[in-house]
A = this chain, B = another copy of it.
Amino acid sequence: MNTARPPIHPWRLILASASPRRRQLLQGLDLPVEITSVEVDETPPEGMPVQEVAEHLARKKALAWTGDLASDQVLITADTTVVLGEVLLNKPVDEADARRMLGLLAGRTHHVHTGVCLRHMRGMLSFTDVAAVSFRAMTEAEIGYYVERYRPLDKAGAYGVQDWLGHTTVERIEGSFYTVMGLPLHRVYSALHGLHP
Interface of A toward B, CB cutoff 8 Å: 2, 4-7, 25, 28-30, 136, 139, 141-142, 144-145, 148-149, 151, 161, 163-164, 166-178, 185-186, 189-190
A149 and B28 CA atoms in complex are apart in Å by: 13
Q: Which of A139, A167, A169, A170 has the most CB of B within 10 A?
A: A167
A173 touches which of B142, B163, B176 (Cβ 8 Å) = B176
List 17 other contacts, CB 8 Å, given A28-B163, A170-B176. Answer: A2-B148, A2-B149, A4-B148, A4-B149, A5-B145, A7-B139, A7-B142, A29-B164, A30-B149, A161-B177, A167-B185, A167-B189, A168-B189, A171-B176, A172-B175, A172-B176, A173-B173
20 contacts between A and B (CB under 8 A): A4-B148, A5-B145, A6-B164, A7-B141, A7-B142, A7-B144, A25-B167, A28-B163, A29-B168, A30-B164, A161-B177, A166-B178, A167-B189, A168-B185, A168-B189, A169-B186, A171-B176, A172-B174, A173-B173, A173-B177
Q: Give the docked Cα–Cα distance between A40 and B29 (Å).
A: 36
- The CB with the most chain B CB atoms within 10 A, among A139, A151, A164, is that of A164
Q: State in angstroms the CA–CA spacing of A146 and B164 once bound together.
A: 30
Contacts of A168 in B (CB 8 A): 29, 185-186, 189
**A136's contact among B7, B163, B169, B186, by CB below 8 Å, is which?**
B186
- In the complex, the answer to whether A178 meets B167 with C-beta atoms within 8 Å is yes
Q: Are A167 and B148 in contact (CB under 8 A)?
A: no
Please name all residues of chain B whose beta carbon is closer than 8 Å to the beta carbon of A175 when the two chains form the complex.
172-173
Residues of B within 8 A of A151 (CB): 2
How far does the alpha carbon of A170 sit from the alpha carbon of B175 in the complex, in Å? 9
| Residue of A142, A149, A168 most packed against chain B (CB within 10 A) | A168
CB pair B7 A167 closer than 8 Å: no
Q: How far is the CB of A83 from chain B (nearest CB, A)?
A: 19
